[in-house]
């Protein structure tokens, strides 16, 4: 707790209008939000790279974002860091009755789906009564599409199996080609979005995370492309001087070398 208190004091000092940092003083929830999102991605990146030292640093950066928002809120009289910590502790206790509940609840153990049922009860007290309530609009599009599909599926609005999703993807591809053939710019974007949404739902039916899958594909592409660049440069040549057919051969060789 001493370290947390030290961090809280550092942020309070940075936000002091008279003796703090001018940049920190002028920030708001809205201006800090992009940094909060960026730091969360950097935490995920450190995990992907299995760099525990970097993970420690990135978690610190993310914690700073929480402290920053809490300090802004405290200055406005909304809440402070202690309220944030107490709130999440209370939520975790409430959502884990098999750990923190009564003797009978602990004896019953974890029930499949109980987490979502408890979250549903929590949402039921709000103004938005939709089954889609509470899905943050600021989520990455792939992740939000996944959550939208999952939430709709819980009340039966879903394909019975992945063959139905395959058919939907083919349907969207046909509509995308039709829009592209008509040079309908607005339609192309809309149909491409519909196709991506269907692909995300296929990932859900396959029980994989589309965001993680795409990150893996990005890493694989970058690994192979960089290897191809290195091989071409090592032969004293330039990649832009190669024909597409020659580059395809180099790409296949890179795949064999680096996977």
| Each residue's pLDDT tens digit, 71-120 | 999 999 999 999 999 999 999 998 888 888 877 777 766 665 566 666 66
Which tokens go with 118? 């408890």
Say if residues 197 and 185 touch (Cβ distance below 8 Å).
Answer: no
Q: Which residues contact residue 39 at a Cβ distance below 8 angstroms, ignoring those fewer than 6 apart? A: 58, 61, 62, 64, 65
Cα–Cα distance, 95 to 138 (Å, whole number): 24
Residue 217 CB-half CA count within 13 A = 6
Q: Where are the domains of the chain?
A: 2-79, 141-208, 212-258
Say if domain 2-79 classifies as CATH 1.10.287.1080: yes
Q: Where are the alpha helices (DSSP H) in the chain?
A: 2-14, 22-25, 29-48, 52-75, 81-95, 97-100, 103-108, 114-123, 141-154, 162-181, 185-205, 210-234, 244-258
Weakly modelled stretches of the chain, pLDDT under 70? 1, 108-126
Residue-level pLDDT at 129: 79
**Contact residues for 54 (Cβ-Cβ < 8 A; gap 6+):** 46
Superfamily of domain 141-208: MazG-like (1.10.287.1080)
Distance CA 75, CA 40 (A): 25
At residue 98, the pLDDT reads 83
pLDDT digits (tens, 9 = 90+) for 191-212: 999 999 999 999 999 999 998 8
* Same fold across 2-79 and 141-208: yes
Mean model confidence pLDDT for the chain: 91
């Amino acid at each position: 707790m001493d370290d947390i208190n030290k961090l809280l004091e550092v942020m309070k000092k940075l936000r002091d209008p008279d003796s703090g940092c001018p940049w920190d003083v002028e920030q708001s929830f809205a201006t800090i939000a992009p940094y909060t999102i960026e730091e969360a991605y950097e935490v995920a990146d450190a995990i992907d790279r299995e760099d525990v030292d970097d993970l420690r640093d990135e978690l610190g950066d993310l914690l700073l974002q929480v402290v920053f928002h809490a300090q802004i809120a405290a200055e406005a009289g909304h809440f402070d860091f202690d309220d944030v910590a107490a709130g999440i502790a209370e939520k975790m206790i409430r959502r884990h009755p098999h750990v923190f509940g009564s003797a009978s609840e602990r004896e019953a153990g974890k029930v499949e789906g109980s987490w979502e049922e408890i979250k549903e009860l929590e949402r039921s007290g709000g103004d938005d009564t939709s089954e889609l309530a509470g899905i943050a609009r600021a989520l990455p599009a792939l992740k939000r599409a996944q959550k939208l599909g999952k939430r709709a599926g819980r009340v039966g609005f879903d394909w019975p199996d992945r063959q139905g999703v395959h058919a939907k993807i083919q349907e969207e591809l046909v509509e995308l080609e039709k829009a592209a053939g008509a040079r309908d710019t607005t339609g192309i974007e809309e149909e491409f979005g519909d196709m991506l949404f269907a692909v995300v739902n296929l990932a859900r039916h396959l029980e994989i995370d589309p965001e993680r899958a795409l990150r893996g594909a990005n890493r694989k592409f970058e690994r192979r492309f960089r290897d191809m660049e290195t091989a071409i440069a090592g032969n004293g040549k330039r990649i832009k001087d190669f024909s597409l057919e020659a580059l395809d051969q180099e790409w296949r060789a890179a795949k064999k070398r680096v996977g």
